[in-house]
Chains A and B, each alone.
Chain A
Amino acid sequence: MAQLDTEIGLLNDDILELMYLVKTQLEKGHKAFIDFDEDLAIDITINEKRVDALELKIDRDCENILALFNPVAVDLRFVIASFKINSDLERLGDHADSIAKYIMDFGEPIDEEIIKEMRIDEMFETAIQMMSHIFSAFISEDTQLARKVFAKDKILNEINRGISNVTARLINENGKQVEEYLYLFSIIRKLERVGDLLKNVAEEIIFYIEAKVLKHKKDKSENSSKEGDS
């Protein structure tokens, strides 16, 4: 096996490890939120350091491969995609960490009815499904699966778009729980960003496998134009 193959294989393993770690962080965030498990929230903040360390290692590895092996074609696309996915995953980890900190700051369980009304559980579940699709799509190089993320992201966007009105109405109806509503509002904003980042990761997976650039394109279907086309 060529040395470049070995390096690409190691980079692939590191990206998978980071993906799995971030996926676990989001799942723990969901569980900590629903069960109001402060210990689990603390666990997330501790693991955030692992996310950061792995991000730095992957950055360095990408730089080394580019400098030392001059990859081209599919290898180059893989390294470029990995570099961007790495950054997106690190930011996903940051959002999981921020959600954990909200849970710790808030200090008491949140009313289940409010969670239901603000559709936060649905957002968590959708985001985690997206993360699972990304994970499997990366392992199996399955761009169909990666594309499923785009439809799911629309669910998160739809909830996010309506949340200002929902929050305003809830505050009007019950002014005593303003702080609670605002915490939840912030978590929703974070989950919407999680969706955007996962969408970016899906685009990078498709770029690496199909050499198609989907960024800034409304039509992200399989037949969308190839790199360089308008």
Chain B
Amino acid sequence: MEAEQKNPKATNVETKPKLNPDNKDFKLQAKNVNVYYGDFQAINDISLDVVDNSITAFIGPSGCGKSTFLRLFNRMNDYIDGFRMEGDILLNKKSVYDESVKVEELRKKVGMVFQKPNPFPKSVYENVAYGLRIQGIKDEDLIEKRVVKSLKQATLFDEVESLEKQALSLSGGQQQRLCIARALAVQPSVLLMDEPTSALDPISTAKIEELIRELKKKYTIVIVTHNMQQAGRISDNTAFLYMGKLIEYGDTQKIFTNPEKDRTQNYITGRFG
């Protein structure tokens, strides 16, 4: 192929983090993970590395185990009846399932945003400050700084006329960005997102997607999505799961233009699932 010419207008083109086997800069790692709910095996021997400061998308049909797998990274499955895990999950090369790990500390580092915006029935300010208060931070100046910074990062600060406004009076898209701000306030390094835009309209979705791309500069993001176009638009790497197994994992561009596995092709082209 001819030497690639740079488009002079393409100043915002980012270099996508690749899953190069030589790249040891992995933020999260799953090692031969099996998950059971009682007798049912939800995850079947998945090993997967997530590159630091990247966006990784998990795709697959309903019930394939992608949300279960996502929730392993901050131990959200721990209290589900019958949950049992084999293998290991590493954050910064350290096991998150080690007995010495405190779950509350882990969740400060690995934040989560859910499908449906779930703000508390409090003010915008108190929603974002909540995580800091339960950490025992009493310094109001520090709390205010973090609240403002988080709201600005989540591109919500300029949209709310008062931080005392009730969170539940915000639009769906604003509520979801508030939840992202709430997650950012405790200064995590990883953000897990479980279908964060599935309940939002296209404009709000576009705003969240833009925000996710922006957040990638400072955070490692793992997102579960049913929206194939969304995975293509925002992620650097994509993992396709089917019936609890990892079928294919790699560069998003490759997965969506020329996947290796027929099963991946059949799923992304809408021929099964």
Partner of A76, one of B3, B257, B270: B257
> Is A211 part of the contact surface with B, judged by Cβ < 8 Å?
yes
Binding site for A on B (CB under 8 A): 1-3, 228-229, 232, 256-259, 265, 268-271
Residue of A nearest to B271 (CB): A2
Which of chain B's residues have a CB closer than 8 A to the CB of A71?
A: 269
Q: How many Å from the CB of B174 to the closest CB on chain A? A: 27
Which of chain A's residues have a CB closer than 8 A to the CB of B256?
A: 72-73, 76
Q: Decide if the interface of chain A is mainly helix, strand, loop or mixed.
A: loop
Interface centre among B256, B265, B270 (most CB of A within 10 A): B270
Whether the Cβ atoms of A228 and B269 lie closer than 8 Å is: no
Which of chain B's residues have a CB closer than 8 A to the CB of A217?
A: 1
Residue of A nearest to B264 (CB): A73
Whether the Cβ atoms of A4 and B1 lie closer than 8 Å is: no
Q: How many Å from the CB of B19 to the closest CB on chain A? A: 15
Beyond A73-B269, A76-B257, list 15 extra A-B contacts (CB 8 Å): A2-B270, A4-B269, A5-B271, A70-B228, A71-B269, A72-B232, A72-B256, A73-B257, A74-B265, A74-B269, A76-B256, A213-B1, A216-B1, A217-B1, A227-B257
Which of chain B's residues have a CB closer than 8 A to the CB of A227?
A: 257-258
Q: How many Å from the CB of A225 to the closest CB on chain B? A: 8
Q: How many Å from the CB of B272 to the closest CB on chain A? A: 10
Whether the Cβ atoms of A70 and B229 lie closer than 8 Å is: yes
Please report the C-alpha to C-alpha distance between residue A193 and residue B64 in the assembled complex, in whole angstroms.
52
Whether the Cβ atoms of B259 and A73 lie closer than 8 Å is: yes
Query: Which residues of A66-86 have CB atoms within 8 Å of chain B's CB atoms?
Result: 70-77
> Is A174 part of the contact surface with B, judged by Cβ < 8 Å?
no
